[in-house]
Amino acid sequence: MLGSEINLNNKKKKKANVTTRLNIVFFVVFLLFSVLILRLGLVQIVYGDDFKREIERTEDITVNNPVPRGKMFDRNGKIIVDNTPLNAITYTKFQDTSTEEMLETAERLALLIDKDTSKVRERDKKDFWILKNPEKAKEKITKEEWDLYDQDELDDKELYKLQLERIDVKKDLASLSQQDLETLAIFREFNSGYALTQQIVKNDNVTPEEFAVVSENLEALPGVDTTTDWERYYAFGNTLKTVLGNVTSSDEGLPKDKLEEYLARDYSRNDRVGKSYIELQYEDVLHGQKGKVKNITDKAGKILTTEVISEGQRGKDLVLTIDMELQLEIEKILEEELMIAKQSPKSALLDRAFVVLMDPHTGEILTMAGKQIAKNNETNKQEMRDFALGNITTSYAVGSVVKGATILTGYNTGAIKPGSSQFDAPLLIKNTPPKSSWKSFGMINDLRALQISSNVYMWKTVIEMAGGTYAPNRPLPLDLTAFDTMRQSFSQFGLGTKTGIDLPNESIGYAGPLRQSGLLLDLAIGQYDTYTVMQLAQYISTIANGGYRVQPHIVKEIREPVLENNELGPIIQEIAPNILNRIDGKDEWIDRVQEGFRMVMQVGDGTGVNTFRGAEYSPAGKTGTAEAFYDGPERKKFGKIPPEVMNLSLVNYAPSDNPEVAMAVMVPWAYQGNSGSATANIIGRRVMDTYFNLKKQDHTVETKDVEQTYEATE
């Protein structure tokens, strides 16, 4: 009985303990729910609006859109370089766009467009395979290598490198379908862009159907847009192409060597910029002002609305000094005369010819023509190429055309005076072959020396200038500082120094390094230092206009762009003539050289009379032939000693009493041997005839009066 009572009491105590514990648990649960409800109420009531705003938060992201470049016109308003509009599909990567999101968008876009896969490299395919097959990529790593990775003895880059090396090109990469490759090509374009910068995905052969279907599905393609792009169009084909220059592609973007400079000027990394000559020189003018678009996105990066901040403006237009009708006619002349001259067996090394026409008062380049015969590596046939650029980038020994500068240097140093006479007979210098003119002329003065191109007269002038005394069969020591005197004097005409033309990479020619008495004599007749054709044009212009060295320029005006395709906008800037220097010397000295140059072309046995006889425009100028060594593209096959060749040159202006056009012609390596064609003279006559014939046909080229120009400049 007693035992039963004890058991009953124990059960009651246990039941009471369980009830107490349950009450405690319920109380704790109640407290927790109360805290939770209180917390939820706090979130709902106190912070509800804040969280709602956070969820609905939007971001304003401004994107710069490129604009077409400015156009180029010739001096008569003919379009030379234009922009051809292209349908384009673009992608803009936002700052928080993930790789997975980009890949997903690329896959969707690949279903809508055809994308060229030729630029996809094997390494791109491997990266893409790893991205598409992460589990299989992991299997490329052994357990031991994973253990090393866990122990920090291998890092992520080393693991990735092992995966790349172990991808089976034939098996793994072969599993990529054509659709995969197009996705990869698109993804590659996405990845090559920079955040908030519009990247061209496709602008070549975008069909109207592709453009339409992408436009309709932009909502499902975050970052993708359809727009109008452009490419450069050259209205006259390859004419002047080397001078007009090139523009980088969207793939190239900014040149690496100028990347920081362009970025500091608010360019984007994939902007297209001028990379050579006029396109490069006038990049700031041609580039234009970018359009700005503000994309309003939600927190997830989805574009909600787009707002145009600025439409942008295409680049400003350039009006060049070039007359394209004249340019085309002169290029035709060069091609015809080159092919005729090339038929001679003596002209095997001839491959180029150049012409520059310049307004001697303003420096405006009316024509800058160059042609070169070169082998096409694809067809293995000879073809005629544009080489206008050679007028400023290549230099040659030019021969007797420099004798006007030699005479004026002689006047200025007192070595000779106007009317001074010398006896033209071979110079017999000890231990030196006889040095002579092309024939002996007897007693001649300075005008006659220019007329018949006497070498001896020039040499005796330099001998006097260098303090020498000539005696037959005796040594001829000279003061070699006369090299500096002559070169400094020649540079006043533009010979041996930069002309200042508004194009990059202008050559100054080559000044021979050796200083010997015989070489000083060669310098006086244009057979030692080398000069560019543009330098010759500046030199003859300086003589033609009365002694003013005018800076040549190829851009005439900068104009505002207008919507109409072939219409010129208002002038922003007109490039004024720039006088670089006035040569040392009296006006009557220059007048005398001008008269000598007139005699060369119009009087008696002047060296240009046979070619220019009967010309109604009263030409004046100087012919030139230089003994030189071949230095062309076939140079290597001749070994250490290249063959001797003759360079032909011509400088000219007209009319002689009031010059309106100056010309320089150069035909390097015209022939081998002592005699050959007169190609430079023939080209010069045809060019001048063409210029004045076009003028008669009301195709006028504006020129300015020399006195008006210099009064305005000074």
pLDDT tens for residues 96-125?
788 888 899 999 999 999 999 998 999 998
Q: Is 568 exposed, middle or buried (0-12, 13-18, 19+ CB in 10 A)?
A: middle
pLDDT of residue 666: 98
d(CA 641, CA 628): 12
- What does the block give as tokens for 339? 């092919």
In the chain, which residues fall in CATH 3.40.710.10? 326-713
The answer to whether 554 and 338 have CB atoms below 8 angstroms apart is: no
Length of the chain: 714
Helix, strand, or coil (residue 605): coil
Q: What is the C-alpha to C-alpha distance for residues 250 and 552, in angstroms, rounded to an integer?
A: 33
Task: Give CA–CA dist 411/583, Å, rounded.
Answer: 12
The answer to whether 569 and 607 are in contact (CB under 8 A) is no
Angle at CA of residue 335, ends 334 and 341, nearest 5°: 85
Tell me which CATH code domain 326-713 carries.
3.40.710.10
**What distance in Å separates the CA atoms of residue 127 and residue 147, rounded to the nearest whole number?**
24
Per residue in 144-173, pLDDT (tens digit) is: 889 888 888 888 898 999 999 999 888 888
Question: In sequence order, what are the beta bridge partners of 558?
Answer: 318, 573
Q: Where in the chain do CATH 1.10.10.1230 domains reside?
A: 98-194
- 56-90+226-320 under CATH 3.90.226.10, yes or no: no
* Residues with Cβ within 8 Å of residue 695, at least 6 apart in sequence: 701
| pLDDT attached to residue 16 | 59
Distance CA 661, CA 279 (A): 27
* Interstrand relation of 548-550 and 571-574 (parallel, antiparallel or unpaired): unpaired
Residue 555, H or E segment: strand 555-559
The CA distance from 220 to 115, in Å, is: 19
Say whether the peptide bond before residue 655 is cis (omega within 30 degrees of 0). Answer: yes
pLDDT, residue 56, reads 52
Cβ neighbourhood burial of 122 (10 Å; 0-12, 13-18, 19+): exposed
What is the rounded CA–CA span in Å between residue 188 and residue 183?
Answer: 8
Q: What single DSSP character describes residue 643? A: P
- Is residue 622 within 8 Å of 404, Cβ to Cβ? yes
Bridge partners, residue 173, by sequence:
none
Residue among 361, 367, 242, 332 nearest 663 (CA): 367
Radius of gyration of the chain, Cα coordinates, nearest whole angstrom:
39
User: CATH 3.90.1310.10 occupies which residues in the chain?
Assistant: 56-90+226-320
| Other Cβ atoms closer than 10 A to 277 | 24
Full DSSP string of 216-229: HTGGGSTTEEEEEE
Q: In which region does residue 94 sit, left (phi positive, over 0), alpha (psi from -120 to 50) or beta (all else)?
A: beta
Measured torsion, CA atoms of residues 469, 624, 497, 590, in degrees rounded to the nearest 10: 70
CATH code of domain 98-194 = 1.10.10.1230
* Regions in the chain scoring below 70 on pLDDT: 1-18, 21-22, 25, 35-36, 38-66, 193-196, 290-312, 564-565, 698-714
Angle between helices 99-110 and 178-192 (to 10 degrees): 130
- Total-model pTM: 0.82
pLDDT of residue 523: 97
**Nearest residue to 91 (alpha-carbon basis) of 28, 164, 185:** 185
pLDDT at 132: 87
H-type alpha helices, 241-399: 241-244, 259-264, 277-281, 283-286, 324-342, 390-393
Per-residue confidence (pLDDT) for residue 197, from 0 to 100 = 74
- Catalytic positions: 400
**Which one, of 235, 132, 254, 248, lies nearest residue 183 by Cα?**
132
Distance CA 543, CA 598 (A): 12
Q: Which two tokens stand for residue 584?
A: 């040392």
Asked whether 338 and 371 are in contact (CB, 8 A), the reply is yes
- Helical ranges in 111-155 per DSSP H: 122-132, 134-138, 143-150
Strands 72-73 and 317-320: parallel
How would you class 587 by CB atoms within 10 Å of its CB: exposed for 0-12, middle for 13-18, buried for 19 or more? exposed
Half-sphere exposure of 48 (CA within 13 A, CB side): 7
Query: β-strand 291-298 against 58-65: which pairing, if any?
Result: antiparallel
Provide the phi-psi class of 101: left if phi over 0, else alpha when psi is between -120 and 50, else beta.
Answer: alpha
* 8-state DSSP, 438: S
What are the backbone angles phi and psi of residue 367, rounded to the nearest 5°?
Answer: -145, 140
Element (H, E) at 354: strand 352-358
Cβ contact 546:653 at 8 Å: no
d(CA 56, CA 36): 25
